[in-house]
Amino acid sequence: MTGLLIFAVLVLLGIAIWQLTKIFQLTQIGTTPADDDNSEVANDRDNNVNGYLMFGFVAFIYIFTIVALVKWGHFSLGTPASEHGPQYDNLLAMSFWLIFIVQTITQFLLHYFAFKYRGKEGKVAFYYADNDKLEFIWTIIPVIVLAGLILYGLYAWTNIMFVNDEDKEDAIYVEVYAKQFSWEVRYAGADGILGKANVRYIESVNTMGVDMADPNAADDIPASELHLPKGKRIIFKFRSQDVLHSAYMPHFRAQMNVVPGMVTEFSFIPTVTTAEMRQDAAIMNKVSNINVIRSKKSAELVAEGQTALEPYTFDYLLLCNKICGPSHYNMQMKIVVDEKADFDKWLSGQKSLGAAVKESQEKPVTPDVPGTPVQAVGGDSTAVMPQDTTKTVSQAKPATTK
């Protein structure tokens, strides 16, 4: 609040100074000769200065563009890790090249003509009404270019978003569940079908609200880490418990909005395992640069008596790409891409939801003791309180106080 007040004071002070300056200029009207250099009427010298400044500005644009590409070009994502990734990258590269070429030509012409036709004393502008041929050219060229770009985009969209029935039969179904500010995943069991779910069924270890009355739900497998098999089609089902999120997997060129009250869907085939991506030259270079920065920071922390940072190791990540609240920046989940055999071994070691629910029901529960942790499924170490237990504790506390 103090910062906002200081900002408001500075803004008001700036406005006051600007108004005083205008008043001073008004007092000088009639006291300055018309041909004086301080006159507000532009002369040849002013026009020449502005013309050369236009040339200088276009040079700045080109120089900054080149420097930016050299200095920050390595921040691009690099090798795509999904089957549709190269097609997506091609579409993006085409768009960038078109923008770059058009921007380079048009910006040069804009600033060149501003210089060439700058005002000169005694020179009158030529009024050019219209030219049908010229207007046709600069209309039809963008139409053709954009039509080609849009058609290719629709072709890419169709290939990425639509899955054939044959592919669905052999696919792995995974539900990705978003909530402030974490992710949970659920794999379809041996039946290959995800059980129905609704937030009203959230209770105890059933943190995703799966309907345990659904016969397809018992063999579903919840997990706190997203594992994917290389070369296998994954069909994701996305749900949100609270607000609008966006499941963003940048290295797989995949993103889908996660909307409360509805199920959204996305599918792709991973093509590069985590171990293989760690050996990618661009990724190794990024990891090296990050660890140089972390080592410098660690030296500062150690000098202050704090613990040094651990070396960074590359991992695929599932991120939230919507500003969903104060901890949005920290809403992420590790993704591990394995060979099919390693994935099957990992999945077989996970506990099914039906077994987890049955085990939680058999365990003695002490709902009247605040802070009693409930073991989460899938190896998640986060302590979760059942909803009815939380209500009991919060309602009992005022009575105890009295």
Q: How far apart are CA 369 and CA 314, in angstroms?
A: 41
User: Phi and psi of 228, rounded to 5°?
Assistant: -130, 140
CA 184 to chain centre: 19
CATH topology of domain 41-121+128-161: Helix Hairpins (1.10.287)
- Tens digit of each residue's pLDDT (9 = 90 or more) over 227-261: 999 999 999 999 999 999 999 999 999 999 999 98
Q: How far apart are CA 339 and CA 154, in angstroms?
A: 32
Structure tokens at 127: 């009024």
Specify the length of the chain in residues: 402
| Cis peptide leading into residue 181 (ω within 30°) | yes
- Tens digit of each residue's pLDDT (9 = 90 or more) over 354-391: 888 888 887 765 555 444 444 444 444 333 333 343 33
DSSP H or E stretch at residue 223: strand 221-223
Q: How far apart are CA 353 and CA 213, in angstroms?
A: 12
Q: What pLDDT does 345 receive? A: 93
In this structure, which long-range contacts are made by residues 121-127, counting pairs with CB atoms below 8 Å and at least 24 apart in sequence? 121/43, 121/44
Residue 112 pLDDT > 50, yes or no?
yes
The 10 Å Cβ neighbour count of residue 268 is 23
What average pLDDT does this structure show over 317-332?
A: 92
Residues 6+ apart with CB under 8 A from 84: 156, 159, 160, 253, 268, 269
- Tens digit of each residue's pLDDT (9 = 90 or more) over 30-44: 665 555 555 667 787
- Is the pLDDT higher at 37 or at 272? 272
DSSP code at position 238: E
Q: How far apart are CA 82 and CA 71, in angstroms?
A: 27
- Is the pLDDT higher at 287 or at 22? 287
The CATH architecture annotation of domain 165-275+315-365 reads: Sandwich (2.60)
Amino acid at 314: F
Q: How far apart are CA 331 and CA 323, in angstroms?
A: 10
Amino acid at 358: K
Q: What's the pTM value of the predicted model, to 2 decimals?
A: 0.71
What average pLDDT does this structure show over 69-96?
A: 89
Starting at the edge strand that comes first in sequence, how are the strands of the sheet with 316-320 ordered? 226-229, 332-338, 316-320, 245-249, 254-258
Q: How far apart are CA 104 and CA 59, in angstroms?
A: 11
Domain ranges within the chain, ordered by starting residue: 41-121+128-161, 165-275+315-365
Residue 170 pLDDT > 90, yes or no?
no
